[in-house]
Structure 1
Amino acid sequence: MSVVRWVVMGVSGCGKSTVGQALATRLQVAFVEGDQFHPPANVAKMSAGLPLDDDDRAGWLLALQAELRRAAEEGVGLVVSCSSLKRRYRDLLRAGDPALRFAHLDGPRELIAARMQARHDHYMPPSLLDSQFRDLEPLQADEAGVTLSITVAPEQLVARILGDE
């Protein structure tokens, strides 16, 4: 199997971290939690219930691009969790690794909102979910990747990402 780098994408609360960690474990590669690359100003803005704009996201995306580029140059696999809401954000990440693949975790707003309400250890308030859906540009036909429904278990999502199911 060739070495592949994946970004697990979608709105906040869709399960990017859970599925990303499981995918990385299955592939026996490193996992990068994209949220950890947000600068303190971004975290503060989101914690205050204010959505990020393109300028806020620029440095964050470039930091993740550097991680992907490093993995590609070293010829190692990597899984990154990153909302990647807009096509231009994905294009920026792909500039670090043209072979990059995306797994878009998609689901009903009500399910995602319920998940966000249930978690207490994250700075992203449920009030920002609508702004995430507003910014979301789903994967396009010419983008390498898959779109998957989050109505199934994370293990099934990983199997589908890898083509096992």
Structure 2
Amino acid sequence: MTGDRPPTRHVVVMGVSGAGKTTVARGISELTGLRFAEADEFHSESNVARMRSGVPLDDAARWPWLCDLAGWMAARHAEGVSTVLACSALKRSYRDVLRQGPPNVEFVHLAGAAELIRDRMGRRAGHYMPASLLDSQRAILEHLDPDESGVVLDVALSPDDLVVAAVTGLGLPLGAAVSGR
């Protein structure tokens, strides 16, 4: 921390594809001023091609991507900028890599019924992640452990309600009160 600059906050909105991570993370950003990033935009072309063809990523394909995300958050922290990242962060080990970036990372886990999420995935347009990979994501999903900072929210709530519940649950300040827009 430099001078009297307030500490940064770093939030990862996590869950399986189709849970609403991007929508909720953007909403948190709009309400709080945290800088938004979409983890999907950090994937290599080969990772995107693999997922587009219906092949799930293995850990070897994920590690460089997760390190890039941790690096992005660490760089924003160094600038005094708070962040909110939409990222699956399905396993504890993936979240551990993300925590190697800035000094403190909090999580918003969007959880819910597979049927509801599968229905949402079937209705969205322009995303490379096919609904057929939902089962593989659910199979590796590890819920937040008690020692992980965060909240778990039900995807059955409306996007606006999820945003408010996340901001309230994490005690995030509204607007420019969070450092570094």
Q: How many angstroms apart in 1 are the aligned matches of 2:56 and 2:90? A: 13
1:162 maps to a residue whose letter is V
Give 1:72 deviation, angstroms: 1.7
5 Å matches for 1:1-165?
A: 3-163=8-168
Partner residue, 2:179: none
Q: How many angstroms apart in 2 are the aligned matches of 1:36 and 1:30? A: 15
2:8 maps to a residue whose letter is V
1:28 maps to a residue whose letter is G
2:137 maps to a residue whose letter is Q
- Where do 5+ consecutive residues of structure 1 fail to align? none
Q: How many angstroms apart in 1 are the aligned matches of 2:151 and 2:51? A: 28
- SS at 1:142 equivalent: coil
Q: How many angstroms apart in 2 are the aligned matches of 1:162 and 1:82? A: 17
- SS at 1:143 equivalent: coil
Partner residue, 2:3: none
- SS at 2:143 equivalent: coil
Q: Kindly indicate whether the alpha-carbon contact (under 8 Å) linking 2:7 and 2:80 is maintained by their aligned counterparts in 1.
A: no
CA RMSD, 1 decimal: 1.4
Give 1:29 deviation, angstroms: 2.3
Give 1:77 deviation, angstroms: 0.8
Q: Which runs of 4+ in 1 moved over 4 A?
A: none
- SS at 1:20 equivalent: helix
Give 1:155 deviation, angstroms: 1.3
1:127 maps to a residue whose letter is S
- SS at 1:146 equivalent: strand
Number of residue pairs matched? 165
Higher Cα Rg: structure 1 or 2? 2
Task: Quote the sequence identity (%).
Answer: 46
Name the TM-score, length of structure 1 as normaliser: 0.96
Q: Kindly indicate whether the alpha-carbon contact (under 8 Å) linking 2:73 and 2:83 is maintained by their aligned counterparts in 1.
A: yes
- Where do 5+ consecutive residues of structure 2 fail to align? 1-5, 172-181
Q: How many angstroms apart in 1 are the aligned matches of 2:156 and 2:124? A: 18
- SS at 2:85 equivalent: strand
Q: How many angstroms apart in 1 are the aligned matches of 2:32 and 2:131? A: 32
